[in-house]
A and B are shown apart, each in its own frame.
Chain A
Amino acid sequence: MRFAVRVEVRSLEGIADPEGQTIERALPALGFRGVEAVHMGKLFRFVLEADSESAARATADQMCSRLLANPVIEQADVWVEPLGADASDEPAVGRSA
């Protein structure tokens, strides 16, 4: 089975996010009011071949702890979605409707 996987990596709670802080300070200068808690992270999307959804999730979790995120400073959220047999290679997850 093929799965569309989306991984979002961001700073651990309590670890400074200098990029997010800088963006948060920049937005009011452009007239955007009421913005807070801005965090900047990374987004990974890929297609993964696996026996089951839980196997795909387990593999993606291992990818996060070994490469995609640095567990000392970052946390990762993983989304897994089955791809239909005739689906294109382009994952649908993470796209707006």
Chain B
Amino acid sequence: MSATVAVVCFPGSNCEHDVVRALGTLGAAARVVWHGDDSLGDADAVVLPGGFAHGDYLRPGAIARFSPIMDAVRAFALLGGPVVGICNGFQVLTEAGMLPGALRRNSGLRFVCRTAACTVASSSSVLTAGVPVGTRLALPINHGEGNYTCDAATLASMEEAGQVVLRYDENPNGSVRSIAGVANAAGNVVGLMPHPERASSALIGSADGQILFGALLGSVAVTTS
């Protein structure tokens, strides 16, 4: 049976259909769920896609975390369900307190939009399970506020526990320790600034994103079997 993935659409999300398509090519039954809904249905995994939820007013993700669907997302994650936030979705997860740290304006205030070479730093997450540490991935980045920060104690414990899952080879935005993606302590909630859905086919420059989505769907098979 194929995995069912709920892709949450907030007002201002703009990558939801790309995520649905990328997951669909891997055999998943992915569908868009409106942020005003209060149920994820029978989803096996949840993706919060990129974009500018609620116009990024106040701070990116600050308003989206109060959307009705977020109660269901929080409950789903507490039960161990896989939740992945991409770009703006990552910002929503940090604002919601589901991931440590915060994302600030890029150093130099530059909006970055290019393909970034990244390296998997931990296999202890639903998005990198089975992907060897050191695996290099070419993934598009596209953000103005991707400058990951957290306090020193949090950073040390995350590094120790393998919660830093992805790093940039060349730091594009000032993120502490070149962090591109992090997981919660349990590894079932992951956020990353790069867009795996935009690296879903060699035809568009890279299919490396499918390595991560494949790992996600593999994690679903493990948690539901």
Residue ranges of A at the interface with B (Cβ–Cβ < 8 Å)? 15-16, 18-19, 22, 67-68, 70, 72-73
Contacts and interface: CB of A to CB of B under 8 A. Distances in A.
A19 B62 contact: no
Nearest to B105: A18
Contacts of A18: 104-109, 147, 174
Interface string B139-157: 0000000010111000000
Contacts of B102: 70, 72-73
A57 B106 CA distance: 33
Interface residues on B, range: 10 to 19
A66 B101 CA distance: 16
Interface string B110-150: 00000000000000000000000000000000000001011
Given A16-B104, A67-B62, A73-B102, A22 B109 contact: yes
Given A18-B147, A73-B149, 5 more contacts: A15-B104, A15-B149, A18-B106, A18-B107, A70-B62
A19 B105 contact: yes
Contacts of A19: 105, 109
A22 B147 CA distance: 15
Contacts of B174: 16, 18
Contacts of B149: 15-16, 72-73
B108 A70 contact: no
B1 interface: no
Contacts of B151: 72
Interface string B87-109: 00000001100000110111111
